[in-house]
Amino acid sequence: GNGCHYRGDSRVINPQGEIIATADAHQATRIDAELSMAVLREYRDKFPAWRDADEFRLR
C-alpha cells in the first residue's frame, strides 16, 4: 500500500449477505473464495438494482 496502513477485515459476501471469507485484521492476508456465476446471475435477475444506476463521468 505505498506506506498506507489499512485496517484489514476485508470480506467476501455472497448475494444472500452471508460471509464467505474474512481477512485477518491488521495483517497482510490473501482471501481465496469461490462464487457461482449462475447464482450471481440469478440474484441479479431477481434484484436488478443496477438498472437504477446514474450515468456520470469524472474528469
Give the domain ranges of the chain. Answer: 11-52
Please tell me the distance from the alpha carbon of residue 50 to that of residue 44, in angstroms, as a whole number: 8
What does the pLDDT read at residue 1? 59
What does the pLDDT read at residue 54? 83
The tens place of each residue's pLDDT in the chain, 59 residues long, gives 578 777 778 899 998 899 999 988 888 888 899 999 999 999 989 888 878 888 888 88
Which helix (H) or strand (E) segment holds residue 12: the answer is: strand 11-13
User: Which pTM was predicted?
Assistant: 0.62
What does the pLDDT read at residue 7? 74
What does the pLDDT read at residue 19? 94
